[in-house]
Amino acid sequence: MRIEVGVATDIGKVREGNEDSFLVQPPLFAVADGMGGHRGGEVASQLALEVIETLAARGKGSLADQVREANRRVFDRSLKDRNVTGMGTTLTAALIGPGTATLAHVGDSRAYLLRAGALRRLTEDHTLVARMIKTGEITAAEAEVHPHRNVLTRALGTEPDVGVDEQDVPLMDGDTVVLCSDGLTGMVNEPQIQAILEANDSPQVAADRLIKAANGAGGIDNITVLVLRISDEAAGGDLTGVGQSSSSSQVSAPVRRLFGRALVWIPIALVLLAAGVFSARAYVDRQWYVGVANQHVAVFQGIPASPAGLHLSHVVFESNISSTDAADLPLYSNIGEGISAQGRDDAFAIVDQIRKDIVGAKAGGTGLGGSG
Ligand code: MG
């Protein structure tokens, strides 16, 4: 079996750094889309891929095992290093074997299969809107414009353990497998992706054109695309290594979720501007707190108030911690009203503290936590 590889990553048109990473170590391929303030996203995506690269080279465990180990490593690092507290990453990996692609997946990067004129999505997004579509709360069309469409329900490195979707996909001669970050799929729809893949035989040209299309549509996020053309001939790919475009990464701003945030704020900004409160939006935008979303402890950006029915905050991260468990502890009894944080990192640190305090309380501890 022959794998012809095309790969490209781009900062996009808006972001100040590229927090996406990719791995090309035939027959193993992966993309990772990091999140977390400051250096966090970049560190998370790169570390996760380095871990699976190392474990794969040693032949340790299944691909999903390697991803679970990567989760632990990123999580441990985020606890130890204050500069990257709360970081996380998506990870979508494909191990190409004879006649089969083994996939392991966490988050909202995606894998696609193009075969005989049909593009099929192989992965399920671990996002709030994907869950809302499943429960029938919203339609797929509504999800595309939902202000919270980029909020992840599962990421690698944000919890001690993570569920990894794994599957084996039978491969045929002439198949094309695509791995990509949401910087592509958020800007370019599936028919367009298919058209570009079909118009360009060279996987590298196809990858470059897909990046160009995403940038042409606005390039609001970092974009990473891996295109694998599978054929029955002998030989294999020749590229190798963990890649990440060089970038200046000192910029503050919650880098990963700007897309969702920008849309949430458009109507609010208009109202505030109309009221002559020019600095209000910037002020609100800098505020962070820990509150409750879907009965879970969650990190919010904004302020926990809704004057005149305006929502001045949005969920950045929903943990798997029960808000009832948190509210049962005296320290967090007012979590429903929002616990203010000094910033994004502080908000994630508070969530970690709540988790520890709940574990401590259940183990018969004091039930009192640190200040966060
Ligand atoms: Mg992204």
CA of 250 to the centre of ligand 1 (A): 18
Query: What token pair was written down for 187?
Result: 């800007």
Q: Ligand 1 center to residue 63 CA distance, Å?
A: 22
253 CA from centroid of ligand 1 (Å) = 14
| Cα–Cα dist 363/361, whole Å | 5
Compute, in angstroms, the gap from residue 185 CA to the centroid of ligand 1: 9
Mean pLDDT (whole number) for 214-238: 84
CA of 222 to the centre of ligand 1 (A): 6
Q: How far is the CA of 33 from the centre of ligand 1 (A)?
A: 5
- Percent of the chain beyond pLDDT 70? 81
Q: Which residue has the tokens 């130890």?
A: 80
**CA 150 to ligand 1 center in whole angstroms:** 8
The residue that leads in pLDDT, 80 or 308, is: 80
From the CA of 337, how far away is ligand 1's center (Å)? 30
Spacing, Cα 177 to ligand 1 middle (Å): 19
Q: Identify the residue with better confidence: 336 or 125.
A: 125
CA of 232 to the centre of ligand 1 (A): 33
* 352 C-alpha to ligand 1 centroid (Å): 24
> Higher confidence at residue 7 or residue 274?
7
Q: Residue 251 — pLDDT band, cuts 50, 70, 90? A: very low
Taking CA atoms, 312 is separated from 53, 143, 267, in Å, by 42, 20, 10
Asked whether the predicted pLDDT for residue 281 surpasses 80, the reply is: no
Say whether the peptide bond before residue 27 is cis (omega within 30 degrees of 0). yes
Confidence band, pLDDT 50/70/90 cuts, at residue 371: very low
pLDDT grade for 291, boundaries at 50, 70 and 90? very high
Question: In the predicted model, is pLDDT for residue 302 greater than 70?
Answer: yes
Residue 255 has pLDDT above 60, yes or no: no
SS3 of residue 219 by DSSP: coil
Q: What is the DSSP track for 65-107? A: HHHHHHHHHHHHHHHH-GGGTT-EE-EEEEEEETTEEEEEEES
User: What's the gap in Å between 158 CA and the centre of ligand 1?
Assistant: 16
Query: Given this model, what pLDDT does residue 243 score?
Result: 52
The Cα–Cα gap between 1 and 322 comes to: 48
* 49/32 Cα distance (integer angstroms): 7
Position 333 scores a pLDDT of 83
Q: Residue 151 — very low, low, confident or very high, per pLDDT cuts 50/70/90? A: confident
Mean pLDDT across the stretch 237-264? Answer: 34
C-alpha 294/C-alpha 297 separation (Å) is: 8
Q: How far is the CA of 223 from the centre of ligand 1 (A)?
A: 7
Q: How far apart are CA 273 and CA 202, in angstroms?
A: 49
Distance, CA of 187 to CA of 208 (rounded, Å) = 15
- How many A from CA of 201 to the centre of ligand 1? 26
Q: What share of the chain has pLDDT > 90, as a percent?
A: 57
- Banded model confidence at residue 252, pLDDT cuts 50, 70, 90: very low
pLDDT reading at 316 higher than 80 = yes
Cα 221 to ligand 1 centre (Å): 5
Q: How confident is the model at residue 83 (pLDDT cuts 50, 70, 90)?
A: confident
Asked whether the predicted pLDDT for residue 240 surpasses 50, the reply is no
Burial-class residue 75 by CB neighbours within 10 Å (0-12, 13-18, 19+): buried
pLDDT confidence bin for 361, thresholds 50/70/90: confident
186: CA distance to ligand 1 center in Å?
8
Specify the amino acid at residue 296: H
Q: What pLDDT does 65 receive?
A: 97
pLDDT of residue 236: 42
Confidence of residue 204 (pLDDT cuts 50, 70, 90): very high
Residue 63 carries which side chain, given as an amino acid letter?
L
Q: Please name the residue that has the structure tokens 């929502």.
A: 311
Q: What's the 109 CA to ligand 1 centre distance in angstroms?
A: 8
Ligand 1 center to residue 310 CA distance, Å?
27
Whole-angstrom Cα distance, residue 51 to residue 40? Answer: 16
* Ligand 1 centroid – CA 40 distance (Å): 14
Q: Which two tokens stand for residue 353?
A: 């503290």
Cβ atoms within 10 Å, residue 254: 20
Nearest-CA neighbor of 52 among 108, 109, 103? Answer: 103
* The two three-digit tokens of residue 67, written as one number: 């991803």
Write out pLDDT tens, residues 112-124: 999 999 999 999 9
CB atoms within 10 A of CB 35: 26
| Bridge partner residues of 317 (DSSP) | 299
Selection from 214, 300, 314 nearest residue 260 by Cα? 314
What pLDDT score was predicted for residue 310? 61
Q: Which amino acid is at 367?
A: G
Percentages helix, strand, coil for the chain (3-state, rounded to 5) are 35, 25, 35
Q: What pLDDT score was predicted for residue 372?
A: 36
Phi/psi zone of residue 211: left (φ > 0), alpha (ψ -120 to 50 degrees), beta?
alpha
**If you average pLDDT over residues 5-33, what whole number do you get?**
94
Q: How confident is the model at residue 343 (pLDDT cuts 50, 70, 90)?
A: confident
Tell me the CA–centroid distance for residue 19 and ligand 1, in Å: 8
What distance in angstroms lies between residue 34's CA and the mean position of ligand 1's atoms?
A: 7
| pTM exceeds 0.75 for this model | no
CA of 331 to the centre of ligand 1 (A): 35
Distance 130 CA to ligand 1 centre (A): 16
* pLDDT at 37 (0 to 100): 66
Give the chain's mean pLDDT.
Answer: 83
